[in-house]
Chains A and B, each alone.
Chain A
Amino acid sequence: MKKIVIFSLIALLSIGSVFAAGTKESVPAQKTVTVFGAFVDEEARRFEEAIRPFEERTGIKVVYEGSKDFETLINVRVEGGNAPDIAGLPQPGLMANFASQGKLVPLWPSALALLEKNYAPVWKDLGSYKGVAYGVFHRVNAKSFVWYPKKAWDAAGYQVPKTWDELKALMDRMVRNGHTPWAVGIESGGATGWVGTDWIEDIMLRTAGPDVYDKWVGNEIPFNAPEVKKAFEILGDIWMNPKYVYGGRNTILTEGFGDSQRPLFDNPPKAWMHRQANFITGFFPEHIQANLEEEVGVFPLPAIDPKWGIPVLGGGDQFVVFNDRPEVREFMEYLQTWESAESWAKAGGALFPYLNQNLDAYPNAIERSLAEALVNAKVFRFDASDLMPASVGAGSFWEGIVDWVNGKSLDATLADIQKSWPK
C-alpha cells in the first residue's frame, strides 16, 4: 500500500506543478514581442543591449531567443503554427520560401519609407520577394577583407597593395624573403568549403562584375561558364601554389576556418595575410584582440578589373514579421534606425548598413574602415552561396571546392556543380 501512496503523491505533485507553471505563464504582464534568430551568446547579449532603449521608451518587452539550430527550428515552428513574431533569417532564400507560402507580413507604408531613407537600394532588393519588401537588415557582415599582422609588416617594409598586380608583386616579394603569403583553412564541419566559395564570389565580382554575378546566382549562365572558370583559375594561381599558402593544399583542407588565422600571429609570422569577413576578429588570440588597432591591419581585397572598383561581398540576418500586431510593427521600425545599432557598434564586432550611421561610434579604426568600405561600396553583393538553391549553395558548391583542392580537375568540378543545379 505504501508504494501506491508514494506514487499517487508524486502524481499529485506533478499535476500541482503543472498548474503552477500554467498560471505563471497565463498572466499577461505587458506587451511582448518575440524575436527568434540564429545568433547566440555574446551577440545575443549585444542585441538585447541594443534594444534596451526601445524597451525603456515604449514599455514593450522584447524577448530574444537564439539557437544554433535556427534553420531547422524556424521551419518546424512555422509549420507547427508556433512562429515567433519576428525572425532574423540568415539567408534570403529562406525569406523567399516563407514569403511564397504567404507566411510573412509585407512591410507597411511607414516601414517602407524608413527602408528607402535609411538603406541603400540593394538592401531593399535583398529583403524583397517578387517586388514586395518583407525584410529589414540590422547587423550585417562584410567579407572582402585581408588581415595582416601590422607590426611584422612594418618591420618587413610591406605596403598595402592597391591593385591585384600589386598584390601579386607583394606575394612574390614575400616568397623571395622566405615568407609564406597566405594562411587559408576551409574546414568547417558539415559546411567545409564555404571559405572557398567566398573567395570565388569575391573574385567573380572583381573580374566579371555584378551583372554577370547575378546571372551566375540565378544560373542564367551555367556554373562551368568561362567567367566562373576564370575566377577558379585566379584562385588556383594562389591556392595551388605551395609557396603561396602556408602548409599547402593539405592545410587548406584540414585547418578549421576560425583557427587558420593563427599563423599570422606567431613570432615570426608563419603566414602574412588572411582573407576573411569582419567577424574573424573574434577568433584572434586574446592578446591580439586586446590590442587590435596596434597588432592588426586590414585592407579590402584589391580590384582586379578597375571597371568594377572594389566590390564588397557580405551577408546578414534580415528580420521579417510573422505576426502582425502594433507593437511588432513598432519594433520593426525601431530596427530600421541607427539608434537600434549604436550601442552594438560601440561594443564592436558588428557592422551596420544604415546610410546615416555615425562612423565614429565604432570602437577602433579597423571597424570604422570596414564600415566605411561597406557603406561606400559602389557594388555590394550578398554571399552567392546563400542566394543559390541550398542543394548547390550549401551543398555541391562547397563540395566542389573541396574536391577541386583535393586534385579533381577544374572542368569536371564545375560540370558536376552545374549538374547538381535543381531543374
Chain B
Amino acid sequence: MNNRKAAIAINTALLILVVIWFIPILGLFISSFRPRDYVLTTGWWTAFTKNRIFTLDNYRQVLGGTKYTFVDALGNTVRSSGDNLSQAFINSFTVTIPSVIIPILIAAAAAYGFAWMVFPGRKFFFTSVVALLVVPLQIALIPILRDYQKIGLTGSYLGIWLAHTGFGLPLSIYLLYNYISTIPRSIFESAYLDGARQIVVFARLVLPLSIPAIASLAIFQFLWVWNDLLVALVFLGGTADVAVLTQRLATMIGSRGQDWHLLTAGAFVSMVVPLAVFFSLQRYFVEGLMAGSVKG
C-alpha cells in the first residue's frame, strides 16, 4: 500500500514537472505559426479562442531567407531574399561531426590508458585532466586565437575542430574513464593471456564494450558543439560561407531585435537535428548515464 502511494506521489510530481517544462515549449511552438503582429500583441493561449490565424510565414522566412526590397543605383526596385539556411546547416554539420568523433576517439584511448595501463605519473596526469574540467573555456580564447593566427588556423575548419576537441576532452576522458575502469579485469587478463597487444585489446574489447558510454558522450558533445555560438564566432568567424546555424539564427532577429518573432520558428528548425540525434541514441543514453556511477 505504501509502495503504491509512493508511486502515485512520484508520478504526480513527475507529471507536474513535465507540464511545467512543456508549457513554454508549447507556447513557442504555437507562436511559431502565428503572424508577427499577433505574436507581438496577444498571448499564444488566445490562438485557439479569439485569434485563430495561423501562418507558415515565419518558417518560410527562417528557411528561405528574409525578403528585402532594394532600390539599385539606377532607381529600379529590386526584390532580393537573404541567404537561406541550407549553407548554415552544411556548415554546422561540417563543424559538428568531426568535433564529436575526434575527441571521443582520443578520449577513449586516453581513458583506457589511465584505467588499465601502468606507467609512472598516471595518477598525476589523470588528476590534471580532471582538474581541467573546472577551467572555463573563455579564458583560453585569446591565447589560442593568437597561436592560431601564427600558424594560420583561424577561419579554418581544422582550427575549430581542434578547439572543440580540446574543450571537450577533459569531460570526455573523465566520463569514459569511469566507465572503462569498471570493465572486469578478468576480460583483459584472458585477452593478454591469448597474446593480444594493447591496441587490439583497445579496438576489439574496450571500444565495443564502451558503446553505451560513448553514445551518451556523443550526445553531450554533439549538443554542445551544435548549440555553440561563442567558439564558432571566435575561431571560425561569421561570414556567410562559414557561418553556422546558431550564428544565422542570432543575426536573424535584426540589429535591434525587431524581428524576434522569427526566433520561434528558428528554434524549432535548429532543434530538429539534436532531437533526431538524441532519439536515435536514446537507447544507449539511459544505460550510459548509469555508466561508472557504481564503481565495483
State the A residues within 8 Å of B (CB): 1, 3-4, 7, 10-11, 14, 17-18, 21-22, 25, 38-46, 49, 52-53, 63, 65-69, 73, 76-77, 79-82, 258-259, 262, 279, 282-283, 285-286, 342-343, 346-347, 363
18 more A-B contacts (CB under 8 A) besides A41-B82, A282-B256, A285-B40? Answer: A3-B204, A7-B203, A10-B101, A17-B94, A25-B156, A39-B255, A40-B251, A41-B252, A42-B82, A45-B82, A69-B229, A69-B230, A80-B146, A80-B149, A279-B256, A347-B68, A347-B69, A347-B70
Q: CB < 8 Å: which of B70, B73, B229, B256 contacts A53?
A: B73
B141 in contact (CB, < 8 A): yes
A38 adjacent to B203 (CB under 8 Å): no
Q: List 21 A-B contacts (CB under 8 A).
A: A4-B203, A14-B161, A25-B155, A38-B255, A41-B251, A41-B255, A65-B237, A66-B238, A67-B233, A69-B230, A73-B233, A73-B234, A76-B234, A80-B145, A80-B148, A81-B145, A81-B150, A258-B258, A283-B256, A342-B73, A347-B68
CB B16 to nearest CB in A, in angstroms, measures 28
Kindly state whether residue B250 has any CB partner on chain A within 8 Å.
yes
Known: A53-B73, A63-B239, A65-B237. A80 touches B255 (CB 8 A): no
The 4 tightest CB contacts between A and B, nearest first, are A80-B145, A40-B251, A346-B71, A81-B149
Contacts of A66 in B (CB 8 A): 238, 251, 255
One digit per residue, 1 when the CB lies within 8 angstroms of any chain A CB and 0 when it does not, for chain B 120-143 equals 000000000000000000000110
Distance in angstroms between the alpha carbons of A262 and B38 in the assembled complex: 12
A19 — nearest CB in chain B belongs to which residue? B158
**A383 → B minimal CB distance (Å):** 14
Choice from B80, B156, B253 contacting A21 with Cβ under 8 Å: B156
Q: Report whether B98 and A43 are in contact in the complex, using a CB–CB cutoff of 8 Å.
A: no
Q: What's the minimum C-beta distance from A122 to chain B, rounded to whole angstroms?
A: 23
B154 in the interface (beta carbon within 8 A): yes
Contacts A39-B255, A43-B255; A82 near B158 (Cβ below 8 A): no
A79 and B142 contact, CB distance less than 8 A:
yes
Is B257 positioned at the interface, with any CB of A under 8 Å from its CB? yes
Chain B residues with CB under 8 Å of A342's CB are 73
Contact A65–B239 (Cβ < 8 Å): yes
Please tell me if the beta carbons of B158 and A22 are within 8 angstroms of each other in the complex.
yes
- CB pair B41–A262 under 8 Å, yes or no, is yes
Shortest Cβ distance from residue B204 to the other chain A in the assembled complex, whole angstroms: 7
CB 8 Å contact bits of B88-117 with A (1 = contact, 0 = none): 000000100010011001000000000000
B contact residues around A39 at 8 Å (CB): 255
Query: How close is B285's CB to chain A, nearest CB, in angstroms?
Result: 21
Q: How far, in angstroms, from A282 to B82 measured CA to CA in the complex?
A: 17
Partner of A45 from the list B68, B73, B238 (CB cut-off 8 Å) is: B68
Considering the chains assembled together, what is the distance between the CA atoms of A79 and B149 in angstroms?
11
Whether A14 pairs with B101 at a CB distance below 8 angstroms is yes
Report how far A14 CA is from B101 CA in the complex, Å: 10
Question: For residue B36, which residues in chain A have a CB less than 8 angstroms away from its CB?
Answer: 286
Given A14-B161, A43-B254, A45-B82: A82 in contact with B154 (beta carbons within 8 A): yes
Contact between B82 and A77 (Cβ–Cβ < 8 Å)?
no
User: In whole angstroms, what is the CA distance A347 to B155 when docked?
Assistant: 33
Give min CB distance, B25 to chain A, whole Å: 21
Nearest B residue to A188, CB-CB: B257
Residues of A within 8 A of B289 (CB): none
Q: What residues of chain A lie closer than 8 Å to B70, measured between beta carbons?
A: 45-46, 49, 343, 347
A14 close to B155 (CB less than 8 A): no
Could you say which residues of chain B place their CB within 8 Å of the CB of A45? 68, 70, 80, 82
Residue from the set A22, A46, A65 with the largest chain B CB neighbour count within 10 Å: A65
Cβ contacts under 8 Å, A67 to chain B: 233, 238, 247, 250-251
- Decide yes or no: A44 and B251 within 8 Å by CB, A25-B156, A80-B142, A343-B73 being known contacts: yes
Q: Is the CB of B253 within 8 A of A41?
A: yes
Specify which of A22, A52, A258 is in contact with B257 (CB 8 Å cutoff): A258
Picked from A1, A21, A65, A80, the residue with its CB within 8 Å of the CB of B141 is: A80
CA A401 – CA B228 in complex, angstroms?
34
Give Cα A113 to B199, complex, Å: 70
Chain B residues whose CB sits within 8 angstroms of the CB of A79 once the complex forms: 142, 145-146
- Find chain B residues with CB under 8 A from A53 CB: 73
Residue of A nearest to B156 (CB): A21
Quick one: closest A residue to B262, CB to CB? Answer: A41
B270 within 8 A of A: no
Residues of B within 8 A of A22 (CB): 156, 158
Nearest neighbor of B105 in chain A, beta-carbon distance: A7
- A17 CA to B247 CA in the complex, in Å? 23
Q: Are A285 and B37 in contact (CB under 8 A)?
A: yes
Cross-interface CB contact of B145 among A77, A286, A347, cutoff 8 Å: A77
A21 to B149, CA, bound (A): 17
A82 touches B258 (CB 8 A): no
Question: Is there an interface contact between A21 and B158, defined as CB atoms closer than 8 Å?
Answer: yes
Which residues of A are found within 8 Å of B157, using beta-carbon distances?
A: 17-18, 21
Residues of chain B from 246 to 296 with CB closer than 8 A to chain A in the complex: 247, 250-259
Query: Does A68 contact B40, Cβ atoms closer than 8 Å?
Result: no
CA distance A17 to B157 in the complex (A): 9
Could you say which residues of chain A place their CB within 8 Å of the CB of B257? 258
Query: Which residue on B lies nearest to A22, using beta carbons?
Result: B156
A67-B247, A286-B37 known; A42-B141 Cβ under 8 A: no
Cα-based distance from A83 to B292 in the complex (angstroms) = 45
Complex CA distance for A11 and B251, rounded to whole angstroms: 34
Contact present for B254 and A42 (CB under 8 Å):
yes
A residues in contact with B198, CB < 8 Å: none
* Complexed CA–CA distance, A65 and B240 (Å): 8
User: Please, what's the 1-or-0 string for B138-175, where 1 marks a CB less than 8 Å from any CB in chain A?
Assistant: 00011011101110001111100100000000000000
Write the nearest CB–CB distance from A314 to chain B, whole angstroms. 15
- Residues on the A chain within 8 Å of B98, using CB: 14, 17
* Complex-state Cα separation, A363 to B77, whole angstroms: 12
Tell me whether B84 is interfacial, beta carbon within 8 Å. Answer: no
B254 contacts A282, CB within 8 Å?
yes
Closest to B247 in A: A67
CA A346 to CA B144, docked complex, whole Å: 44
Chain A neighbourhood of B252, CB < 8 A = 41
Cβ of B150 to closest chain A Cβ, rounded Å: 8
- Which residues does chain B contribute within 8 Å of A42, judged by CB atoms? 66, 68, 82, 254-255
Q: How far is the CA of A258 from the CA of B260 in the complex (A)?
A: 10
Minimal Cβ-Cβ distance residue in A for B71? A346
- Taking a contact as CB atoms under 8 Å apart, the answer to whether B208 and A282 are in contact is no
By beta carbon, the residue of chain A nearest B80 is: A45
Chain A residues contacting B223 (CB-CB under 8 Å) are none
